[in-house]
Structure 1
Amino acid sequence: MYFVGITFLMMVVVLGVFIGLLFLVTNFELLSPEREGHLFPLYFILFLSLVIGATLAFFVGKRILQPIGDLRQAMSNVAKGDFTIQLQENQSLEDVEELYHAFNVMVEELNSIETLRNDFVSTISHEFKTPIATIKGYVQLLQNEQLTAEERQVYLERMLDGTHQLTYLTDNILKLSKLENQGRGLDFQAFRLDEQIREVILFLQPKWEQRHLILDLDLPRTIYNGNEEFLYQVWLNLMDNAIKYSHEDGNIHIHLTQKEQGVVVTISDEGIGMSEEVTNRIFDKFYQSDTSRKQKGNGLGLALAKQIIELHQGTIEVNSSPDKGSQFKLFLPNIPKNS
């Protein structure tokens, strides 16, 4: 509209100028062959037309077409895989400034997606490669006919562990994908939240008994309206981490408090804790502070838990210090049924 308005205004001005010149030529007979220099007005009109045309062309090229050309070049670079390019947003035309801003935001998002894709490919390839290589190695060992029954049983159990690791990774990826596609269309139903947490504790009993951990529980009867299937996954991930990173003979505290606005669940341990850098990134997909992979995991559990809590319009916070343990505090607001 800005360009159209300027063009229309220029045409009106040019029309006015030519009408005025035509009026002068007609009334004063400036183009009469009998008058000396009678062609001068014609030359003046031609010169004025060239000046106006050149001015309009320069304006259109500088203010309208050049920004479009810059955008075309930038988009060509993005098409070639350059997601670092940014356009100068400080432009004289508001529409061009908004267009450049939208382009810069788009490139930043594409750059984030590309980074996530690269991390995803490298992490997934590593996570799948390790158990697959393990299973392959034990399959080759089982081909040895001189193995004892005990050795065969050990190898089979280790192969089973590898398949469990692959299944766990695949399940978490599918659950994350399901959450991202499903959005806020979760089915909320009323259920006993305290009983659900107890079920998870019983399910993980072999793990915490093996490490001789002491559980401090405070789980009063609590009815909550939420998605029972996904919330079970939250408690499973958080408690499994608390067990995994606790010291032998340590303590784990699990408290449930019902408030007017909702419920608060705190899960804390006295284990190895985390640095501030790790604390700031633990909810990122595929992030693992233990790069050596000594601890089992794939960096998806906490990202999944955070997304589930947010789909319940809640919050999850972590407070941790190295060698002092970690505390996860979750708030789940009261949500109307089937909201």
Structure 2
Amino acid sequence: MSRDLAARGASIALVAAVVGFLVGLLSDGPGVREVAAFALTAGLGAAVGYFAFWRPSRAVRTVVEAAERIAEGELAQQVPDEPGPAGELTRAFNVMAGRVATLFETVAFEHARLEAVFDASSDPMVALSADTSIRFLNPAATSLFGVRMAEAIGRPLIEVARDYELEALAQRAAAEGRGQVAVVSFGPGRVPLRAAALPIREGGDWAVLLILTDLTEVQRLDQVRRDFVANVSHELRTPLASIRAMVETLADGVEPDETPAFYERILRQVDRLTTLVNELLDLSRIESGAIQLKPEPVHVGQLLAEAAGLLQARAQAGDVTVVVEGADMEVEADRSALLRIATNLLDNAVKWSPPGGRVWVEARDEGDLVAIFVRDEGPGIPEHDQPRVFERFFKSDAARASAGVGLGLAIVKHLVRAHGGTATVASKPGEGATFTVRLPKRFIGRRRLA
């Protein structure tokens, strides 16, 4: 490049010398000295032209090579300053190269930040072009659609999501230029999703951002709320209706010898209401952190034997045998809370055991943990009900006619969590149920529940 430009300079000088010689020839005619002078002048002119163009040609060549490297992605390109007029070119190029590098660095930072925001979101997010082709999607979206990112980029949304409602929602947002929101049932499992398609103004080939929110947990909590209202209403209505009926009967007049029986039945219903209110208050205090835990060394075997003794009368009334097994060991826990955990589990097991059945309660050493197992021979718990047995007021269809308000296992769950432990259930219909509580031997919970 530099030699080519210098050669052009020499050619220009040589042409100028030839023109001068021709002018002289036409005017006077050449002599020997004139020819020699012409040859010398032409040679000097060519040499001067060559070297005069050498430096700027070298600067041009350096700039061109640096520009080619920038085009290939090597952004940090600078060229050495040249003296004279060529220096203006190299300095201007260096300023331009610096600005290009800064611009690309800024774009890279913005892209990294945007990608971090997308990846951190637990909600599936998909960036679409105006024709609803996928331009970008986060890991949550790849998991929902069951594809890899490389397979999804560039493909139409309908091919990846296979959902016409999502496709139509994105098309409307792109065509109308305003946000679209709908609740759709997605996939074979009919997962409820809140789909929001938002147009992206001046986003280049990103025309629409599709955000999907899983409503499964929201619907589950709504079901819990409905069950709570239904169960509380039932538990309050039944004893109140019984009390009202018996009071009205007494007001109408009964035989004197029947009066004590009515009073006894009213008292039982009042006790039932009192139990409900007390358990509600206890659960509320546990959840709000109003109960103070006082951890101390507790002999687990002795505590389980004590809990079995408290349930002995009820077990005998139902012809159920409670068997305490396992070696004794110590755990650092609040003794009253641990006793309540054991009695609630045993009470639940005895209630569901058939006449002549057995309930086993066992403590095992699991290294840093103490495991307490309570197993019964009852009808078992359906698989679809097992995730909900520790919810407040939850009662399965089979349990709705039984005594109890559905708070005992909820209290167990919260007290166990407060000790830093876990509570689980395993059951097969017709084969009983096993409730397992695991507590750390060293207290790691909260002394004040929160």
TM-score exceeds 0.5: yes
Q: Partner residue of 2:136?
A: none
TM-score by length of 1: 0.65
User: What residue is the counterpart of 2:225 in the other structure?
Assistant: 117
Q: Tell me which amino acid in the other structure corresponds to 1:159.
A: I
Question: d(CA) in 1 for partners of 2:396 and 2:271?
Answer: 22
Structure 1 residue 173 corresponds to structure 2 residue 269: no
Measure the CA separation in 1 of the matches of 2:369 and 2:399.
Answer: 39
- Superposed CA deviations along residues 233-257 of structure 1, whole A, max 9, x for unmatched, are 2212211111111111111111112
SS in 2 for 1:330: strand
CA distance in 2, matches of 1:110, 1:273: 28
Separation in structure 2 between the aligned mates of residue 259 and residue 118 of structure 1, nearest angstrom:
39
**Do the aligned partners of 1:319 and 1:326 also contact (CA within 8 Å) in 2?**
yes
- Partner SS, residue 317 of structure 1: strand
User: Given the superposition, is the C-alpha separation of residues 114 and 293 from structure 1 closer, same or farther in structure 2, using an over 3 Å criterion?
Assistant: closer
1:135 paired to 2:249: no
Which of 339, 350, 353 is equivalent to 1:246? 353
Residues 187 and 227 in structure 1, CA contact (< 8 A), matched pair in contact too: yes
SS of residue matched to 2:402: coil
CA 1:108/1:270 → structure 2, altered by over 3 Å: closer, same or farther?
closer
Where do 1:94-109 residues align within 5 Å?
104=213
Distance 2:252 2:434 in 1: 49
Matches within 5 A, 1:221-236: 221-236=328-343
Give the Cα–Cα distance (whole angstroms) in 1 for the partners of residues 399 and 375 of structure 2: 25
Q: CA 1:171/1:88 → structure 2, altered by over 3 Å: closer, same or farther?
A: same
- CA contact under 8 A between 1:190 and 1:337: conserved in structure 2? no
Is the Cα contact below 8 Å between 1:183 and 1:311 reproduced in 2? no
CA contact (8 A) 2:296 2:335 kept: yes
What is the rounded CA distance, in whole Å, between the counterparts of 1:119 and 1:235 in structure 2? Answer: 26
Seen in structure 2, the aligned counterparts of structure 1 residues 330 and 156 have a Cα distance that, compared at 3 Å, is: same
The secondary structure found in structure 1 opposite 2:390 is coil
- Give 1:133 shift: 0.7
Q: Decide which of 154, 164, 167 is 2:261's aligned counterpart.
A: 154
Matched residue type, 2:196: Q
Q: Aligned AA for 1:320?
A: S
Q: CA deviation at 1:198?
A: 2.2
Q: Is the 8 A contact 1:187 1:338 kept in 2?
A: no
1:157 CA displacement: 2.3
The amino acid that maps onto 2:268 is D
How many angstroms apart in 1 are the aligned matches of 2:218 and 2:251? 49
Matches of 2:437 and 2:310, distance apart in 1:
21
Change (3 A) 1:212 1:121: closer
Q: CA deviation at 1:226?
A: 1.5
Q: CA deviation at 1:112?
A: 5.4
What displacement does 1:266 show? 0.8
Q: Which of 164, 189, 205 is residue 312 of structure 2 equivalent to?
A: 205
Residues 184 and 311, structure 1, Cα contact 8 Å, conserved in 2: no
Gaps of 5+ in 1: 6-61, 75-83
Give the match's secondary structure for 1:323.
coil
May I ask how many residue pairs the two structures share in their alignment?
Answer: 260
Structure number with larger C-alpha Rg: 2
Alpha-carbon distance, 1:110 to partner: 6.2
Q: Tell me the SS of whatever aligns to 2:438.
A: strand
| Deviation (angstroms), 1:209 | 0.8
Name the Cα RMSD after superposition.
Answer: 3.4
Any conservation in 1 of the 2:332–2:442 contact (CA below 8 Å)?
yes
Larger relative contact order (Cα-Cα within 8 Å, sequence gap ≥ 6): 1
Report the CA distance between 1:140 and its aligned residue.
Answer: 1.7
In 2 relative to 1, CA 89–299 (structure 1 residues): closer, same or farther, beyond 3 Å? farther
| Residue 203 of structure 1: how far off its partner (Å) | 1.6
TM-score (structure 2 length as normaliser): 0.50
Task: Work out whether residues 255 and 267 of structure 1, in 8 Å CA contact, stay in contact via their aligned partners in 2.
Answer: yes
> Within 2, Cα distance between the matches of 1:307 and 1:210?
30
Which amino acid in the other structure matches residue 132 of structure 1?
L
> Counterpart of 1:160 in structure 2: which amino acid?
L
Closer/same/farther in 2, CA of residues 338 and 264 from structure 1, 3 Å limit? closer
Q: Work out which of the residue numbers 374, 384, 389 in structure 2 matches 1:277.
A: 384
> After alignment, is 222-231 or 126-135 more displaced?
222-231
Q: Determine the C-alpha separation between the residues in 1 that align with 2:295 and 2:394.
A: 30
